[in-house]
Amino acid sequence: ESWEFVENPLSVVFHLRKGVMFPDKPGVMKSREFVADDVVFSFNRLRSSPKNIRGYYDFVDRVEAKDSHTVVYFLKEFNAEWDYRIAWGFYTTITPKEVVDAGANNWRNVNGTGPFMLTDFVQGSSNTYSKNPIYWDKEKIDGVEYKIPFVDKVIYRTIKDETTQLTALRTAKIDMLESIAWRNVEELKKNAPQLQWAKRLSILGSFVALRTDMKPFDDIRVRRAMNMAINKQEIIAAHYGGNAELFAYPMYPDWDGYFESLDKMPDSVKELFAYNPKKAKELLKEAGYPNGFSFKLQYCSCAPDHVDLAPFLVAYLEQIGVKAELVPTEYAAFLSAMTTRKHHAGYLMNSSHTNPTTSIRKSFISEQVWNPAMYTDKAFDARMDEAVASRDETKRKDIIRGMTREIVDKAPYIWLPTPYVYAAWWPWVKNYGGEMNVGSLRPAPIYARIWIDQDLKKKLGH
């Protein structure tokens, strides 16, 4: 419900909302109130996990329940990411002990305080979420408060084939589709003119990670050559139909004071985004590869954008004598390869921007799980420590801008354009404007505020 930062002792105090309930889960737990002990248990469970990211929770000394609705995080030191790491980020899930005891890996045991409850799961087909009848929140519309969720059920369809996804939307088998590639927009607008639309710059940066712990990518000249070999403006025009930004990662353009546009970058950075195969060949020759080399380029077969983009990259690299052998991999194996450090020398992927410090930390700091380039620089690590330790955001912005310039210049990635993506929904989906998430990939509070105008749906023939 509220929080406060305390200087002595250095801590964050969270005051929990009273009356927030876990619903009844037969065979797992009786309905009961969400209390401070749930927060303490969940944090300690995450911190003690063998999958815990190195250093992620090191700034926290301990977590205590002061009373049933007050939780205190005692800190060893200030960390500018504290809110992300313990309050709203990816690793902040509250899991009641009863669920863990019953088996948290079994979807039938999952339980939470959110607006929906997982009531059915069919592998590779669908997730079904039913209304939580005791959800605490309300929605105010035109001054009137309403109990939510409005809808009784949310069904996520798992549709791997892009054409089948689009057909499902066009024929109203689904009410909304949150991520649509630009190339499909005009056809959908033509065949389903009543669809409503929203456009956004992707919150996922796109790149080829070059493993700096492997030859030849341990040589910065080779990595810079790889960037100069790719005609990024042509990719924007031909692959994305103009629906992409040349430079929008690792900083997101909306991050005021952290993001610097390409025209303000040093010339050494600018040249990485200019097509220059001649200089690329010169750099390869200088690095000892006058005839180029071969490497394996791994990508996820689950990503239509990357399936289409990979051949472009192969063709560009061939022009400088570099042969990229494509290695398509299904998602589970693709992700596992990176997290176990068994991925190939080239790794085409997306990574979320998240927030300014995290975008740099998770991708370029030593020993981080999401560091597919295996980039290591102790001086760079120390600057990140300085950034997150600073309470002065002006200073933090200055440090992160400098770190961004440096890491882009060092080229551990082939930096690729960031595309725009579209969301579409039928007009009977009300109180919705294309919003995606609350916090880190938590769409439930958005879905809880949507309702379906069934009369309009019937009127439109569906």
Across residues 277-300, what is the average pLDDT? 98
Q: Which pLDDT band holds residue 76 (cuts at 50, 70, 90)?
A: very high
> 403 with 369, same domain?
yes
pTM score > 0.85 for this model? Answer: yes
Asked if residue 48 is part of any domain, the answer here is yes
Asked if residue 214 is part of any domain, the answer here is yes
Please determine, for residue 202, whether its predicted confidence score (pLDDT) is greater than 80. Answer: yes
Residue 189 pLDDT: 97
Residue 288 pLDDT: 98
Residue 52 pLDDT: 85
Across residues 185-206, what is the average pLDDT? 96
Asked if residue 16 is part of any domain, the answer here is yes
Asked if residue 150 is part of any domain, the answer here is yes
% of the chain at pLDDT higher than 70: 100
Q: How far apart are CA 52 and CA 47, in angstroms?
A: 6
Please determine, for residue 440, whether its predicted confidence score (pLDDT) is greater than 90. Answer: no
Asked if residue 393 is part of any domain, the answer here is yes
> 335 with 440, same domain?
no
Q: Which pLDDT band holds residue 51 (cuts at 50, 70, 90)?
A: confident
Q: What is the pLDDT of residues 338-380, one digit of tens each?
A: 999 999 999 999 999 889 999 999 999 999 999 999 999 999 9
Across residues 400-427, what is the average pLDDT? 98
Please determine, for residue 447, whether its predicted confidence score (pLDDT) is greater than 90. Answer: yes
> 118 with 47, same domain?
no
Residue 134 pLDDT: 98
Q: Which pLDDT band holds residue 403 (cuts at 50, 70, 90)?
A: very high
> 311 with 171, same domain?
no
> 179 with 32, same domain?
no
Residue 257 pLDDT: 97
Task: Give the CATH number, domain containing residue 45.
Answer: 3.90.76.10
Across residues 112-127, what is the average pLDDT? 96
Q: What is the pLDDT of residues 138-157, one digit of tens each?
A: 999 999 999 999 999 999 99
Residue 45 pLDDT: 96
Residue 54 pLDDT: 82
> 78 with 126, same domain?
no
Residue 363 pLDDT: 96
Residue 239 pLDDT: 94
Please determine, for residue 160, whether its predicted confidence score (pLDDT) is greater than 90. Answer: no
% of the chain at pLDDT higher than 90: 95
Residue 347 pLDDT: 98
> 177 with 263, same domain?
no
> 168 with 259, same domain?
no
End of a domain among 102, 125, 158? 102
> 226 with 373, same domain?
yes
Task: Give the CATH number, domain containing residue 148.
Answer: 3.40.190.10
Q: Count Cβ atoms below 10 Å from residue 154 Cβ, excluding itself.
A: 19
> 6 with 63, same domain?
yes
Mean pLDDT over all residues of the chain?
A: 96
Asked if residue 107 is part of any domain, the answer here is no
> 87 with 132, same domain?
no
Q: What is the pLDDT of residues 11-34, one digit of tens each?
A: 999 999 999 999 999 999 999 999
Residue 91 pLDDT: 87
Across residues 31-54, what is the average pLDDT? 95
* Domain boundaries, position 142: 112-201+424-459
Number of domains present in the structure of the chain: 3
Asked if residue 266 is part of any domain, the answer here is yes
